[in-house]
Structure 1
Amino acid sequence: MGRCCKCNGRLLCMCLLPCMMTGHLLIYVMVSIFVTMSYTPPPKIVIHYIAPGISVNTSTLASHPLGPFWNLRLEDSALWNHLQHALDRLHNPVLRGNTTGVQRKPKAKVSSEIKDESLSDCVSCKCSVPQLDLSSLPEQMKAFVWSMHCRKYPLLINQPNTCKSNDKNLGLDSPMLIMAIKSQVGNFENRQAIRETWGRSGLVTGEASKKSGLVRTVFLLGRQDSSTGPHPDLKNLLELENQKYGDILQWDFRDTFFNLTLKDLLFWHWLQQHCHNAIFVFKGDDDVFVRTGALLDYLHKQWDEHNLMRVRTNDSKRTLDLFVGDVINNAMPNREPSTKYYIPEHFFKGVYPPYAGGGGVVYSISLAMRLKDVSERVHLFPIDDVYLGMCLHKLGLSPGHHPGFLTFDLPETDRGNPCAYKSVLLVHRRTPKEMLTLWKQLQSLPRRC
């Protein structure tokens, strides 16, 4: 019997052993699941890039790259893009470094090949861009490139008292609008037609609001371009014209299409020195027609709204960044060699920034001063309207579109109808005779329409 009990105990042990092992396994699995569910792994660090460098045997310094990992040069870029890239690096505070908030003075050289003289006095005959191969550029582009680093030219005819009023009792010591018209020496007829019509200096009354504003007009000239000559000597006639009207500003640079940008730069400097008390600026060509009274109505409204906002925000230092015209977006450079707007691909690549074209824009004097400053960080471009867009883009601004600026003119069937000009502020391409005729017709516009 004892032997039988011994056998039964052994059998019982053999039967219970699998159950015990299964139970232990079940407990182990449950504990593993519980631990896995309660465990949160650390965030995975994704290594995007490791620069090859030199390891330093110290705990205070990490490895550093052997060289810069950004592209310091645009080897295959167009000439203007290459120059602008170098200028951007020159004025980049990160690349230039900054020690305790003290700004370093930029060096004169922007690269090993190109000397930047944009911040120094420069006379046209001394300007050059050394060590550049210009053989592939058209002649007019070559001439532009060789002088594009020159930004300061002697003023041959000046009008320092244009914005000074003789009657401060009327509160007219600050011009509401200064009109800067780009003209050429030989365009006497255009200038005279403007003086007798929409560009007349003096007190001008708005058409709708009847608010008056002091308007001053100046004509921006260079000297006659001898390369397109020979030209008759008009110097004495220009001096007589200036003696009579006192509205000529002339600088000593060649007056070519690609040099129109210089007129903006030089005029901004003149504004700062002689006419910073003006409120608005109109910049246009001498073949446009402007409804000056309607333009003053628009500007008075903008100025009143600006002053109201300054009161509401209690911000007396708030400035007005107004810039309006006929805005062109997503424009590409003209690649047709036969046109005057031709820009070769090896000179400039890319899309133009938004700009206002067609012969006339209006902007505030405060913005004009900002444009003057930022222009030192934008290389000259041969098309003046595009260059203004580039400067605005550098400021982080965009030009505002105004439907009253008809740069492509009215439909041909409406051009002779005075009532079609009711909403027009500017229209392009008018001869001196057409200016005089249209001005006379528009004097009775409110009653006729």
Structure 2
Amino acid sequence: MARCRCSGRALCLCVLPFVMMSHLLVYIMVSIFVAMSYVPEPQLPLHFVASGASSNSGVLAPHPLATFWNLRLVDGALWNRLQHLQDRQHNPILRGNRTEIGDPSTDPNYMHQADGPPPCSPDPLWASQLPDFNTMPEQMQDFVLSMHCRRYTLLIDQPDLCTGQDADAEAPMLLMAIKSQVGSFENRQAIRETWGRSGLVQEEAGGKWWQVRTVFLLGRQDITTGPHPDLGALLQLESSHHKDVLQWDFRDTFFNLTLKDILFWDWLSMHCPHIHFIFKGDDDVFVRTGALLGLLNEHLGVNNDSKEIEHFLVGDVITNAWPSHQPHTKYYIPESFYKGVYPTYAGGGGVVYSGALARRLRVVSQWVSLFPIDDVYLGMCLHRLGISPSHHPGFLTFDLPEAERGKPCAYRRVLLVHKRSPKEMLTLWRELKASLPAC
């Protein structure tokens, strides 16, 4: 019996390697079979849209080709380097802060504008970071030198714009925030008399009536580009009469339009925190306000799911656009300043978003370095929040086909069209209010 046990143990030691080898071979064959039979999940559709064109397919913007800024440092691009530092500083894992982005009441790192604007002046340090700074256009140089400045004195305020004299009044359904300039008196007056009229506004086709307010966002008159008369006294008179002008103490240039967004979000949080929706647009667009109110009431209303409202932004969506590298164009961005594709964004002629989203944008904008093109910057903030803008074919920021521009019936499917002069606004408003034949 003892010899049997010894012999059996020896036999086990001899057979064990072969058993282990056979198991290994089976494991390898199964792994190869699984790998060969694996079918990847279908990828989200990608639409290539050239710079300056809009995406007219689908409700949501397509999945981006790649993140528009990377975690790795991009050599030679100033904005990318600054944003890299911002991402590291505000990374919730690195700083151990679990607070959700977009809640100003629970974010200890957010400084309120009520503390007062600190002294801010051009900083030559930024110029030293760009080897081609001296060859850049003047508006790009001005932006770079002051890109660290975010808080400016409010010269003209309208603290009672949303409530009037009644602090208990219900918040307006829609606030029309229009970017204008000091000298654009005719544009502002045409808007007040047409699509931007404040007060009770009815949805089209005899729908509900909603409270609407309009406010114009201005910077300081830029008198450095030529001989211009000082229009400050006229603006003060206009403001005292209409009580719908906000003006901040910064130069009102194209590359400073981003400041109007971030300063307006601060003002909104203090003086109009319960607004339901905001339309942000230029003073040379035409809006069918009644149709826009109908869209907001039909698809969202004021009592819908809070998460849906927090993500709501609609406009003319532009995807996979690249910065212009042509020095003589209006939208020129040097490669030394920014590298990469732009995030998905909505054309700046006009967009509409919820008040809940505006409150989140106010906070997240502190974590995104300023960029000289305002609609691209809004897209950057949305990207940081993980939100995709929704495309609506009624937002025609690139205008109607030329053959249809003079036909009132063509505007029945339009929510916004860009560009229109003050005279064209008044004429179009009268035509759309009149009884039209069947379209």
TM bin, normalised by shorter chain, reads: 0.7 to 0.9
Query: Does structure 1 residue 223 correspond to structure 2 residue 205?
Result: no
Which residue of structure 2 aligns with residue 173 of structure 1? 170
Cα separation, partners in 2 of 1:165 and 1:132, compared to 1, 3 Å: same
Query: Does structure 1 residue 140 correspond to structure 2 residue 139?
Result: yes
Task: Tell whether the 8 Å contact from 2:173 to 2:277 is kept in structure 1 after alignment.
Answer: yes
Which residue of structure 2 aligns with residue 36 of structure 1? 18
Task: Tell whether the 8 Å contact from 2:220 to 2:250 is kept in structure 1 after alignment.
Answer: yes
In 2, Cα distance between the equivalents of 1:211 and 1:353? 37
Query: Which secondary structure state, in structure 1, belongs to the residue aligned with residue 250 of structure 2?
Result: strand
| Structure 1 letter corresponding to 2:128 | L
Query: Which secondary structure state, in structure 2, belongs to the residue aligned with residue 391 of structure 1?
Result: helix
Task: Tell whether the 8 Å contact from 1:223 to 1:255 is kept in structure 2 after alignment.
Answer: yes
Query: Does structure 1 residue 368 correspond to structure 2 residue 365?
Result: no
Which residue of structure 2 aligns with residue 76 of structure 1? 75
Task: Tell whether the 8 Å contact from 1:322 to 1:364 is kept in structure 2 after alignment.
Answer: yes
In 2, Cα distance between the equivalents of 1:152 and 1:165? 26
Equivalent residues, number: 376
Which residue of structure 2 aligns with residue 85 of structure 1? 84
The CA RMSD over aligned residues, in Å, is 3.3
Task: Tell whether the 8 Å contact from 2:177 to 2:279 is kept in structure 1 after alignment.
Answer: yes
| Structure 1 letter corresponding to 2:239 | N
Task: Tell whether the 8 Å contact from 1:419 to 1:445 is kept in structure 2 after alignment.
Answer: no
Query: Does structure 1 residue 432 correspond to structure 2 residue 422?
Result: yes
Query: Which secondary structure state, in structure 2, belongs to the residue aligned with residue 270 of structure 1?
Result: helix
Which residue of structure 2 aligns with residue 390 of structure 1? 380
Structure 2 runs not aligned, ≥5 long:
1-9, 29-69, 99-105
Cα separation, partners in 2 of 1:33 and 1:444, compared to 1, 3 Å: farther
Which residue of structure 2 aligns with residue 6 of structure 1? none
In 2, Cα distance between the equivalents of 1:217 and 1:394? 29
Task: Tell whether the 8 Å contact from 1:128 to 1:149 is kept in structure 2 after alignment.
Answer: no
Query: Which secondary structure state, in structure 2, belongs to the residue aligned with residue 226 of structure 1?
Result: coil
Which residue of structure 1 aligns with residue 311 of structure 2? 321
TM-score w.r.t. length of structure 1? 0.76
Query: Which secondary structure state, in structure 2, belongs to the residue aligned with residue 179 of structure 1?
Result: strand
Q: CA deviation at 1:76?
A: 1.8
Which residue of structure 1 aligns with residue 118 of structure 2? 122
In 2, Cα distance between the equivalents of 1:131 and 1:167? 49
Higher alpha-carbon deviation: 274-283 or 130-139: 130-139
Cα separation, partners in 2 of 1:447 and 1:215, compared to 1, 3 Å: farther
Q: CA deviation at 1:300?
A: 0.9
| Structure 1 letter corresponding to 2:384 | K
Which residue of structure 1 aligns with residue 413 of structure 2? 423
Q: CA deviation at 1:97?
A: 5.7
TM-score w.r.t. length of structure 2? 0.78
Q: CA deviation at 1:123?
A: 3.8
Rg comparison, structure with higher value: 1
Deviations 1:377-430 (A, max 9, x none): 000000000000000000001111010000111111111110011110000010
Q: CA deviation at 1:147?
A: 0.7
Of residues 400, 403, 409 in structure 1, which corresponds to 2:390? 400
Query: Does structure 1 residue 267 correspond to structure 2 residue 264?
Result: yes
Q: CA deviation at 1:293?
A: 0.4
Q: CA deviation at 1:318?
A: 7.4
Which residue of structure 2 aligns with residue 412 of structure 1? 402
Deviations 1:157-179 (A, max 9, x none): 000000004579xx962100000
Query: What are the equivalent positions in structure 2 for 1:140-289 lying under 5 Å apart?
Result: 140-165=139-164, 173-208=170-205, 210-289=207-286
In 2, Cα distance between the equivalents of 1:372 and 1:107? 10
Query: What are the equivalent positions in structure 2 for 1:96-115 lying under 5 Å apart?
Result: 96=95
